[in-house]
Amino acid sequence: MKRIDTLLTPRAVAVVGASPRPGVVGGEIFRNIVHGGYHGAVYPVNPNHDQIEGVKCYPAVTQIPEPVDLAVIAVKRDLVLDVVRDCGAAHVPHLVVITAGFKESGEEGAQLENAMRAEAARFGIDLIGPNCMGIINSTPEVALNASFSRWFPKPGPIAFISQSGSLGETFLEFFDRMGLGVSLFVNLGNRAGLTENDLLAGLADDPRITTILLYLESFADPHELREIAARIGGTKHLLALKAGRTQAGAAAAASHTGALATPDAIVDAFLRQSGIIRVFSIEEALVALRAFSHPRIPRGRRVAILTNAGGAGIIATDACERTGLDVPRFSTATQAKLAEFLPPEASIGNPVDMIATAGADDYARALSVAIAETDAALVIFRPPIVLKDPVDQVAANIVRIATQFPDKPVVACTLSDSEFVAPFTTALTAAGIPVYTMPEDGVAALSVLHQANRALTAAAAVVDQFQPDHARAAAIIDRIRATGRETVSFADGAEILSAYGVPIAPYAYVDDAGFDTFMRDVGFPLAAKLDAPGLMHRFERGAVIIRINNRAGLDRAIAQLQVVAQRERLTNARILVQPMLSGRELIFGMKRDPVFGPVLMFGIGGTLVEALHDVSFGVAPVFPNQAEAMIRAIRAFPLLKAFRGQKAVAIRPLAMLIHRLARLSMAFPAIAEIDINPFIVGEGAQGAVDILMKLIT
Amino acid sequence: MKRIDTLLTPRAVAVVGASPRPGVVGGEIFRNIVHGGYHGAVYPVNPNHDQIEGVKCYPAVTQIPEPVDLAVIAVKRDLVLDVVRDCGAAHVPHLVVITAGFKESGEEGAQLENAMRAEAARFGIDLIGPNCMGIINSTPEVALNASFSRWFPKPGPIAFISQSGSLGETFLEFFDRMGLGVSLFVNLGNRAGLTENDLLAGLADDPRITTILLYLESFADPHELREIAARIGGTKHLLALKAGRTQAGAAAAASHTGALATPDAIVDAFLRQSGIIRVFSIEEALVALRAFSHPRIPRGRRVAILTNAGGAGIIATDACERTGLDVPRFSTATQAKLAEFLPPEASIGNPVDMIATAGADDYARALSVAIAETDAALVIFRPPIVLKDPVDQVAANIVRIATQFPDKPVVACTLSDSEFVAPFTTALTAAGIPVYTMPEDGVAALSVLHQANRALTAAAAVVDQFQPDHARAAAIIDRIRATGRETVSFADGAEILSAYGVPIAPYAYVDDAGFDTFMRDVGFPLAAKLDAPGLMHRFERGAVIIRINNRAGLDRAIAQLQVVAQRERLTNARILVQPMLSGRELIFGMKRDPVFGPVLMFGIGGTLVEALHDVSFGVAPVFPNQAEAMIRAIRAFPLLKAFRGQKAVAIRPLAMLIHRLARLSMAFPAIAEIDINPFIVGEGAQGAVDILMKLIT
């Protein structure tokens, strides 16, 4: 982990490539620092000028008479290496490289980027960029705009770390426009040096920052991110806008950043497991940040909606249901209290439509009655043409009641951006109540606050007490790897899995010594199959015979499978016998993703998975509660409840199974792939019926 | 259908309840008319004043010396009836009743509303309202703001019909803010008189209106709407924001407007069948209307994305895929053309990331190369800090190329609302190219334009040539109804359905004369079941025996079913025998919705429908192409393709089946419900295996 304190709060900054000419990036940065009111010393560096904007200009960083904490480099690409060496010689600890033309422009640029990284490392210099727009720290005692952004946000509890420069500036513009307090901005650019993880870790102990937004097109190191997020998630809210979500988008992101594309469902699972709230558009990110400027986290999903405009109440109710929030009908007692003062035209069930005549007192009384029964409130106030009370009085009343419920978020909507609502908006915003124009945005704000509640617990690292028999699994894996084989027999796979606590359906090989005992124990009906490493599509190749009802049938099946083994030239095939388990068929799987490592998969067997791709993912480690969330996330989850005469499936044991598969996969990097299909959960008996496991050879 | 021309273009307007006092609704309306520059004559009516704003005031409408086309009524509720009578006496053809306190306020108000409607009818007066905010016609030769809206939109090709007043005014404010040209606005309020259908029909022949937005919480008469939409959909684009989508939202809407709640999936199907484009939020409606100010309708879903900011291109690509648009990779030829002039750092596959150095010529060349290979283009231009060309030159180049492709929409995004982009936005907007700040909105615009392409064909009324045997079905239905029975036997249901061309699986009753012949024809295996009207849950009650493999088995089954019949006291039960068809199990159904009439349902049988509620709907009539869309709309649709050794199911015959079920349901209002579950499609054989039909008694 890198130290970022002097990067973000330098006492002296050099701008290499500063220029008096307009439209030159280094000049824009220098002017932004000077005009932004930076509290430290700033030194322009450019051999062609004596002074810029009245400030003495130095021919090289090494010539600056005082220590420099940060050098911002905006010279031509081919000069960057020399400047980095100068900075090394001058003991500059931090560089922000604005210059483009590196990895993003092809092979030659990539080589130059590597050389620059090596030079910086040689001098122990931390590097931001290259190909970035700079950094901003608007904290009053620093006031540094070391970027070429035209916007400089006011200070506040938000930090913004962006992989993209152009979108970064779009965000800065709207932070400014919305009056959002954003103290820190870092554009990572090509991310040759410091990553989002270094920045997050560096902000861990900064009490002024309570919310961090990441804009990412790829992850520098997802496991490091997860670890840091778990560490700081208790004190800070983390939000991520991850672009390249869809296949085409990922391809575009890959060509933009040279990053590997990962299925978006895995990214989704990963962020949820990390306790990072995902937002899906620039607008949603901005809506969320306004809510997180003074966040109150609701304990549940119940929302009270008050309105003086009926239609907006209906639209807000629709939006709540769409985003998973409840608009519960109020109790009779609450409705009676509302009926005491609201006119007969009002609706009192929730949403509470107080009609256009509602005044400041109505808002106060209705809010205090309604929010008592919910976890949050959305207050819609559109100033009517005939004002009963001044709008700031309505606002004051809402603030007064909201203050009495400090752990319940209150969000307001105005349905207007006009001068009529300005005093209302100003008063509420000043009191930390976010105000949105549209009801859908107000609901989106409540939804994201609700997600923050879930995020607090989602990342919790709970493990089970089960002690796997690591040595047993290791011995089998070593033995197979010694043969150079890639595929694992059923028996070996079953041994490895059961060493990690995965239940296996009863089985025996017909050539086992204990086969007769097994036959006495399990009885009929049975299934018999050929087990040979590398034998795929067993069903299609006649290597599975099911519904064997008696000994004669078993003998016939064995003879038949021997014929198949000969035909398929399977010299080391054995014949495996299992009882026919009946029950729900499940699929558990593991694949290694090049970015995320072991990714666990869960689905319901049969046509559903094949036709609907109805599976869910989890990135290892998958803690039991996260595994349970995975199981509940599939669309077909209702099939696991009591259904058509079958009892409900116990979810916890299945969650432990996923958790243990994840532990196994992390413990043995040699396991490339696991596929348990089907795993049958019957009444009583349950276990893996078929196992496909591949090793990395 | 009502005449609305003089309503919207009156030569003389009376404002009853006009007042010089501020904050009085009638006064606001009068001032809006006067200050809005209305071209006709306006007469304030109020017995307490001699003049208002320097205009002579009349004590009653009957005292006005000239004919009045429209009276706007904003008097106290208890005076409204008298004013309506006055208007009748003065031969005023149109009323807009602003006054509230009618149906929305309870029983007494509802009675008064009925009385008012009766009075208006007696005089042949058309009525808008009550409880509404008025009407607007901003066409230059009219310039009438007969509402208490604080905003008066500039004229243009859009009409807006809103059931809600407060949301209506929100829209008017944003029309104004966005410079959207909206000539007509009507707030329907309680809809006691004219409905959205009357307004739509009245606008049918107005060539100046090309796009109509409806905000609805309920439908006045959906079938009339569908008919009108089919009639005008070829020349005008229809958009609807339907609130009360979710269960809770519908409950809120029902209490707001007293309307019946319908499952939203049915509303969705209905709008699609009617060729009405559905938008889902206020923002989306506004985004769409900007695109429809100068609509170009794309022929397909392929979008080219050009950008000078990589991140925004990725976000736009994600958004395209999310909304069903394609961002196809360009052909090698197109990529080669782009590589001719773009720098090596650029991405040329699509999205085309031209990087920040792209100038006006790059935009022109890239757009002309890229759009040639797609149906539409999204052009993202964020003015970089170092401008190569003035932004208006970039805009001019985009306009020049867009003009060369008049049937392909071009939409632009700026990622900024600042003064730096203003000339760009102004130039493009003037040329009819919509400009959005955020890429997600630009994509939403293209998506809604693409939906307009589908809407053009979706509503087409195609019927099949099949002539049903109406008389045969009628005879059976009459016979059953004569007995007073509600449920229909399998044999009768099969007769009725086959009279309408629905294939029935082979069947015979064991007491049929031809049973032995049937047995010879079909062979084994068979299924046998009890058929008795009113016998439900046959499987659970042991009334179905499947997999009968020989004559002895059939005899046992018959004996067993007779025992069940006795136990269940089914005196009129018969035993039905069918061959065991194997193949895909489907479900077809029909229920009557109180608002929409016969609603057809389709799903795949088995656990999917039960657990996932994976069904789709269509409102009768369901034309064959609409029925095909219904079949393709279920999530499990891939199960009907070639799958696990089964051939693909032919979709057209299933679509015809739905179409004919819809015809049957419309032809016989006595049929309350039809449930064909399962309908089996096998290789060769197919047909309804079980039929449940209920009549209205």
3-state secondary structure B13-70: EEEECCCCCCCCHHHHHHHHHHHCCCCCEEEEECCCCCEECCEECECCHHHCCCCCCE
Q: Of A243, A321, A349, which has the smallest distance from its Cβ to B255's Cβ?
A: A349
What separation in angstroms does the CA of A539 have from each of A542, A567, A575, B395?
Answer: 5, 15, 14, 62
Measure the CA angle with vertex B686, ends B682 and B689; round to 5°. 110
CATH topology of domain B506-580: Dna Ligase; domain 1 (3.30.1490)
**Interface probe, candidates A314, A330, A389, A443, chain B, greatest B C-beta count within 10 A:** A314
- Angle between helix axes B196-203 and B222-232 (nearest 10 degrees) is 20
- One-letter amino acid at B630 equals M
Domains of chain B, by residue range, sit at 5-209, 303-455, 506-580, 584-695
Which residues of chain B neighbour A415 with C-beta distances below 8 Å? 166-167, 169-170
Residues 6+ apart with CB under 8 A from A132: A96, A97, A98, A165, A187, A188, A189, A190
DSSP code of A260? P
- pLDDT of B195 reads 97
Q: Is the pLDDT score of B257 beyond 50?
A: no
Residue A187 distance to chain B (closest CA, Å): 12
Q: Do A385 and B150 touch (CB under 8 A)?
A: yes
What separation in angstroms does the CA of B310 have from each of A293, B68, B346, B352, B356? Answer: 29, 61, 9, 9, 9
Q: How far is residue A150's CA from residue B422's CA, in Å, rounded to a whole number?
A: 15
Sheet containing strand B376-380, edge to edge, reads B352-353, B303-307, B376-380, B410-413, B435-436
Picking from B252, B317, B385, the nearest residue to A313 by CB comes out as B252
The CA-based diameter of chain B, rounded to the nearest angstrom, is: 102
Provide the pLDDT for residue A607.
67
> In 3D, which of A350, A424, A414 has the Cα closest to residue B166?
A414
Cα Rg of chain B, angstroms? 31
Task: Give the relative orientation of helices A490-499 and A651-667 as an angle to the nearest 10 degrees.
Answer: 100
Query: Which stretches of B391-438 are DSSP H helices?
Result: 391-404, 422-430
Q: Is the pLDDT of residue B259 over 60?
A: no
For domain A584-695, give the fold. D-amino Acid Aminotransferase; Chain A, domain 1 (3.30.470)
Is the peptide bond preceding residue A383 cis, with omega within 30 degrees of 0?
no
Query: Which token pair is B176?
Result: 């104004």
CB–CB contacts below 8 A, A to B? 251
Q: Do A282 and B439 touch (CB under 8 A)?
A: yes
Helix axes B165-178, A310-322, angle to 10 degrees: 80
Three-class secondary structure of residue B126 per DSSP: strand
Query: Is B100–A249 a contact, with Cβ atoms under 8 angstroms apart?
Result: no
**Which residues of chain A neighbour B217 with C-beta distances below 8 Å?**
311, 314
Structure tokens at B649: 């199911």
Cis peptide before B621 (omega within 30 of 0): yes
| B143, B146, B148, B150: CA torsion to nearest 10 | -10
**Residue B443, Cα to own-chain centre: how many angstroms?**
21
Q: Name the least confident of A580-584, B17-21, B282-286.
A: A580-584
Residues of chain B with Cβ-Cβ distance to A649 below 8 Å are: none
Per the DSSP assignment, residues forming a β-bridge with B94 are: B70, B126
Q: What is the pLDDT of residue B245?
A: 63
Amino acid at B404: Q
- Residue A259 pLDDT: 45
pLDDT in tens, B608-653: 666 777 899 999 999 999 999 999 999 889 889 887 777 899 999 9
- What tokens were used for B650? 């032919």
| Measured distance CA(B469)–CA(A487) in Å, rounded | 64
Nearest to A532 by CA among A564, A574, A491, A595: A574
Question: β-strands A55-56, A51-52: how paired?
Answer: antiparallel
pLDDT score, position B248? 61
Residue A345 forms contact with B (CB below 8 Å)? yes
Q: Mean pLDDT across the stretch B241-266?
A: 66
**Is the pTM of the predicted complex or chain greater than 0.95?**
no
Q: Phi and psi for B204 in degrees, rounded to 5?
A: -50, -40
Query: What residue ranges of chain A have pLDDT lower than 70?
Result: 1-3, 245-262, 607-610
A5-209, what's its fold? Rossmann fold (3.40.50)
CB-nearest partner of A344 from B24, B105, B164:
B105
Contacts of A15 (CB under 8 A, 6+ apart): A26, A29, A30, A33, A42, A43, A44, A45, A71, A72, A74, A146
B251: contact with A, CB 8 A cutoff: yes
Q: What is the mean pLDDT of residues B217-237?
A: 93
| Residue type (1 letter), B410 | V
CA pair distance A280, B578, nearest whole angstrom: 53
User: Environment class of residue B510 by beta-carbon count within 10 Å: exposed (0-12), middle (13-18) or buried (19+)?
Assistant: middle
Amino acid at B626: Q
Residue B654 is encoded by which pair of tokens? 């299933």
Rounded Cα–Cα distance for residues A639 and B612 (Å)? 8
pLDDT of residue B603: 92
Say which DSSP state A37 is in. Answer: T
Residues A303-455, CATH architecture? 3-Layer(aba) Sandwich (3.40)
B169 by Cβ neighbours in 10 Å (0-12 / 13-18 / 19+) ranks as: buried
Please tell me the predicted confidence (pLDDT) of residue A255.
53
Look at residue A614 in the predicted model and tell me its pLDDT.
84
Cβ–Cβ under 8 Å, residues A604 and A638: no
Residues A157 and A209: beta-carbon distance below 8 Å: yes
And the tokens for B583?
């193949």
Strands (DSSP E) along B85-203, which ranges? 94-97, 126-128, 134-137, 144-147, 154-162, 181-187
User: In terms of Cα–Cα distance, which of B618, B547, B614, B620 is closest to B586?
Assistant: B614
Place of tokens 């033995």: A479
Residues B257, B220 contacting (CB under 8 angstroms): no
First to last CA, chain B: 34
**Cβ atoms of residues A194 and A127 within 8 Å:** yes
Position B458 confidence tier, pLDDT thresholds 50, 70, 90: confident
Flag the least confident range among A329-333, A487-491, B252-256, B466-470. Answer: B252-256
* pLDDT value of residue A189: 95
Q: Does A105 touch chain B (CB under 8 A)?
A: yes
A-facing residues of B in 543-602 (CB < 8 A) are none
Asked if the bond preceding B525 is cis, omega within 30° of 0, the reply is yes
Percent of chain B exceeding pLDDT 90 equals 81
Q: Does A258 touch chain B (CB under 8 A)?
A: no
* Structure token pair of residue A636: 């077909």
Q: Are strands A597-604 and A584-593 parallel, antiparallel or unpaired?
A: antiparallel
Hey, do A5-209 and A303-455 end up sharing a CATH topology, with the first three levels equal? yes
At A454 the pLDDT is 83
Q: Which two tokens stand for residue B380?
A: 């993202």
* Cβ burial, residue B520 (10 Å; 0-12/13-18/19+): exposed
Is residue B440 less than 8 Å (CB to CB) from chain A? yes
Under an 8 A CB cutoff, do B106 and A327 touch? no
